[in-house]
Amino acid sequence: MTIFSRIIAGEIPCHRVYEDEHVLAFLDIGPLSDGHLLVIPKEAKAQIHELSDESAAAIGRVLPRLARAVMQATGATAYNILQNNGAMAHQAVMHVHFHIIPRIGTSGLGVGWNAGKLEGARAADLVSRMKGALG
Ligand code: AMP
């Protein structure tokens, strides 16, 4: 059981901003910037590819609304939505969560973006493999 399951169960307090049948949103305890919000499904799954369509849809339905609330509350006009999957991808809490991180001045998410170049043959191979996986 992760700390987020314990928050959902009410065993650990949080600064709750939003709750419905499938989703809970609360302030991140270690904010990268003022207003840093976490949005989590109540379904206890570690990574997003494990999530049910129902939970995924419920999160998708409220994310824009919650982003608007973060913007209005903080005055931020820019923000990042971050969703880490796996310890190698910087995931610390193994319960699916979306970060909404306002960019306020220099505070917010620092992004390293080491862009490569997409080659035609590799692109064709990837598209074919992904379409195969989607069935
Ligand atoms: P990640 O690296 O994507 O797994 O991020 C986990 C996030 O959860 C971090 O930003 C933590 O600050 C946050 N966090 C951990 N425990 C709590 C808690 N009890 N209440 C609120 N946020 C938490």
pLDDT tens track of the chain, all 135 residues?
Answer: 999 999 999 999 999 999 999 999 999 999 999 999 999 999 999 999 999 999 999 999 999 999 999 999 999 999 999 999 999 999 999 999 999 999 999 999 999 999 999 999 999 999 999 999 999
The Cα angle at residue 81 between residues 79 and 83, in degrees rounded to 5: 155
Residue among 5, 8, 93, 97 to mutate when testing ligand 1 (max atoms within 8 A of CB): 93
Which CB contacts under 8 angstroms, 24+ apart, belong to 42-46?
42/8, 43/96, 44/1, 44/2, 44/5, 44/95, 45/95, 45/96, 46/91, 46/94, 46/95, 46/96
Q: Is the CB of 14 under 6 A from ligand 1?
A: yes
Residue 41, pLDDT score? 98
For tokens 């949005």, name the residue. Answer: 39
Give the CA dihedral 104, 99, 70, 107, nearest 10 degrees.
-10
- Domains annotated on the chain, with CATH: 3-134 (3.30.428.10)
Tell me, yes or no, if 97 is annotated catalytic.
yes
Q: Whose CA is nearest to atom 17 of ligand 1?
A: 29
